[in-house]
Structure 1
Amino acid sequence: MGIVERKEREREEMRKLILEGAQKLFLTNGFDKVSIRNIADEIEYSPATIYLYFKDKNELFFSLHQKAFLKLIDEFTPIATIQDPMETLIEMGRIYLRFAFENPELYDLMFIMTAPIDTLACRDDVWEDGHRAFGLLQLVVQRCIDAGAIKHPNAEQAGLMIWSTVHGLVALHLRKRMSMFEEDAQKLLDNVFELFIATIKRGL
């Protein structure tokens, strides 16, 4: 390995270390209570080292947020091969639930944790990563409408209803509000999701 390649690898490893430390503290203490010095102490480096990679904690949060959304969108890749729009929608929901179960910290950072909107590099108050992910859902919902599988004429409204319902189930689980039920949480959410899909098929 040459000097340039080794330095690049070391740079990527340091960037990863910083991001991991920042994510841990953001989720544990909340965005507002975390400083660059806190993150530096967490990874046992000086604040000056972090500033070589990120200009401030907003940029750190944005990098974590963007990386998480890219991972979620990548998870949706298999739906491209499904021809039936309703089956595409159902599989999309299953993937979303699985992503939340397998990546609870990322999901928390993406959809639940409070952070200033300017950390997400929004333009005109548009949440770009969220808008892009929702756009995929809206596209699938529109296909369902065109095929007559969903009767509601507005894909944005129907998509928001679907997303908010599935997100609500996930949020209840991640905030440990499912312990009142005796059934295994993941199995219960899967069953509720299937019931929700059945309801949509009957008349959304």
Structure 2
Amino acid sequence: MGISDRKEREKEEMRRRILDSAKKLFLEMGYEKTSIRGIADDIEYSPATIYLYFKDKNELLYVLHQEAFVEFGKTFEKVAHLETAFEKLIQLGYEYLNFAFSNPELYELMFLLTAPMETLEIRDDVWEEGKNVYFALENLVAQCQEEGHFKNANVPELSMMIWATVHGLVTLQLRKRCGMFSEEEKESRIQGGLNSLIQVLKAY
């Protein structure tokens, strides 16, 4: 390995270290209470080192947000082998729950922290990753309609309803709003909620 290759690897390792620290602190302390100095202290480097890689904490959170959506987008790959669009849509619901509960920190960054969306107001680029994932869902619903499902449905509105319902099930659990139920009952009710949505979609 040449000198330039080693330097590039070391640069990428430092960038990853900064991002991992930022993610930990954002989730532990919240966006407002996390500072560049705090991240620097956590990795035992000076704040100046952070600024060599990222402009500010907005950019740090934005990059983490993008990465989370790229990972989430892989759920669509897990249903690609299924034969019909409707089968893919149904399985995608289960994959959504599995992703959220297996990766609660990523889900928090994607959907439950407000700061990533606020950074878009001061950036020139478009939120491509989130947009691509959402419109992949909308395209799948449109394909279901072409197969004969949802004949009289407005595809964008139905897509939003599907996403909002599954997101709501996840959020109730991750934000601990199901404390009136036992752990076993929580899981049963969340899975039952998704199953009920599927039955509604089948009858649509």
CA distance in 2 between partners of 1:111 and 1:93 (Å): 16
Change in 2 beyond 3 A, CA 1:175/1:42: same
Q: Which amino acid aligns with 2:65?
A: H
Are residue 196 (structure 1) and residue 197 (structure 2) matched? yes
Which letter does structure 2 place at the counterpart of 1:96?
Answer: Y
Cα distance in 1 for residues equivalent to 2:8 and 2:121: 26
- The whole-number CA distance in structure 2 between the counterparts of 1:191 and 1:117 is 31
Contact 2:138 2:156 in 1 (8 A): yes
Any conservation in 1 of the 2:75–2:92 contact (CA below 8 Å)? no
Q: Which residue of 2 aligns with 1:174?
A: 174
1:46-61 equivalence runs, <5 A? 46-61=46-61
Closer/same/farther in 2, CA of residues 178 and 60 from structure 1, 3 Å limit: same
Point out where structure 1 has 5 or more consecutive residues left out of the alignment: none
**Scaled by the length of structure 1, what TM-score is found?**
0.90
Aligned-residue offset at 1:121: 6.9
Gaps of 5+ in 2: none
Alignment deviations for residues 112-143 of structure 1 (CA, whole Å, 9 cap, x no partner): 11216342478789644322111010001011
Query: What is the TM-score normalised by the length of structure 2?
Result: 0.90
CA distance in 1, matches of 2:21, 2:74: 24
Aligned residue for 2:79, secondary structure, equals helix
**C-alpha deviation, 1:84, in angstroms:** 1.1
Q: Is the contact made by 1:100 and 1:107 (CA closer than 8 Å) also made in structure 2?
A: yes
3-state SS of paired residue (1:81):
coil
Q: Percent sequence identity over matched residues?
A: 52
In the aligned structure 1, how far is the partner of 2:148 from the partner of 2:126? Answer: 31
Paired residues in the alignment total 203
Q: Which residue of 1 aligns with 2:101?
A: 101
Secondary structure of the equivalent of 2:32?
helix
